[in-house]
Amino acid sequence: MITYLIRRLGYALIMLVITSFVSFLIIDLPPGDYMDQKLAELAERGDRSAEQRIEEYRAKYGLDKPLLPRYWMWASNFVKGDFGESFQFERPVKDVLGERLQMTIVVALFATGVMWLVAIPAGVYSAVNQYSLGDQVMTTVAFIGMGMPNFLLALIILFFAVVVLDADITGLFSREFRDAPWSLAKAWDLLKHLWIPALISSITGSASLIRIMRANLLDTLGQPFVEAARARGLKNRTVIWKHAVRIAINPLVVIFGSEHIPGIINRNMLLAFILNLPTIGPVFIQALLVQDSYMAGTCLVFLVMLTLIGNLLADIALAWLDPRIRLE
């Protein structure tokens, strides 16, 4: 087990190094750099000393140096915990990300929690009552939800929220609460804003979860041990949840690790961008759009890290849940 872990972590480390370099490279590829934009901005404002200031910035961030030394500088600082400075915010990347980390996790936890709380019982109900009206409705809804890209659904719901309901939905807090200390009222305000991203991501996310849960459970229910369990006098509920679902849910655990853990940043990125939520997603997107190299590079590296960790956790969890699987 320990050797397996060490090997996986070693592999992950190598991947991280390579991906960090490739990410940096890709972000750097577009012609020009962030400073060109800033130059245009400043020039628009009629700032005469713009050119000189831009040159100062360039030197400060080392943008006049070629790729490799820049990457090396960034990477070697990265492992020390210094992720470079963001051009847009003119503050350390670590600070910007750190401020947003808490809300990112809150939103992710809430959205993922809702998704699973809805999808698992729905999938189980669907499988146990196959072909019932409820099952057919759920299967259709799931099918439609699966074909729908997240952000388009987001736009539709936004339309209803903004035009029909006239809700104030940008950000996660109303103006009064934004900088206020935590209180019950603030938490309630947060919930009032959280329902939209939670709703949107749970519709598309749970669609595929429901389908998979249903399919797995149908397969499992047909297996002899389910009948054998029932023949021992167990209650229907026990047979279904403690025996059938217990087996059928294992592949979903893998999904949780490989998709929902990196999804902490990845999922809802675009949605958060539109709504201007104080999470990491919008900052990441903005950084990619304007070539804020260190910010974008750092976020990308963290995303890859989350993917690798998520996969590892999923594999370990699967082995723990299913004694037939042994890690090699």
Binding another protein by CB under 8 A: which of 124, 275, 283, 295?
275
| Binders of another protein in range 52-111 (CB under 8 A) | none
Question: What binding mask, one character per residue, do residues 133-152 give for another protein by CB under 8 A, x or -?
Answer: ----------xx-xxxx-xx
In one-letter notation, the amino acid at residue 141 is V
Verify binding: residue 1, another protein, rule CB under 8 A: no
Phi and psi based region of residue 33 (left: phi greater than 0; alpha: psi -120 to 50; beta: remaining):
beta
Count, residues near another protein per rule CB under 8 A: 70
* Cα separation, 160 vs 214, whole angstroms: 31
142 vs 190, which CB is nearer to another protein?
142
| Least distance to another protein, CB of residue 224, Å | 5
Sole window of 19-27, 58-66, 191-199, 202-210 interacting with another protein (rule: CB under 8 A): 19-27
| Least distance to another protein, CB of residue 188, Å | 23
In angstroms, how far is CA 124 from the centroid of its own chain? 26
Binding another protein by CB under 8 A: which of 67, 137, 162, 191?
162
Verify binding: residue 234, another protein, rule CB under 8 A: yes
* Cα separation, 269 vs 174, whole angstroms: 21
Verify binding: residue 175, another protein, rule CB under 8 A: no
Helix axes 93-128, 280-290, angle to 10 degrees: 120
Verify binding: residue 155, another protein, rule CB under 8 A: yes
Verify binding: residue 163, another protein, rule CB under 8 A: yes
Verify binding: residue 227, another protein, rule CB under 8 A: yes
Contact in structure between 294 and 86 (CB atoms under 8 Å): yes
Name the residues that contact another protein, by CB under 8 A.
15, 18-19, 22-23, 26-27, 29-31, 131, 143-144, 146-149, 151-152, 155-156, 158-159, 162-163, 169-170, 215, 218-219, 222-225, 227-236, 243, 246-247, 262, 266, 269-270, 274-276, 284-285, 288-289, 291, 296, 299-300, 303-304, 307-308, 321-324
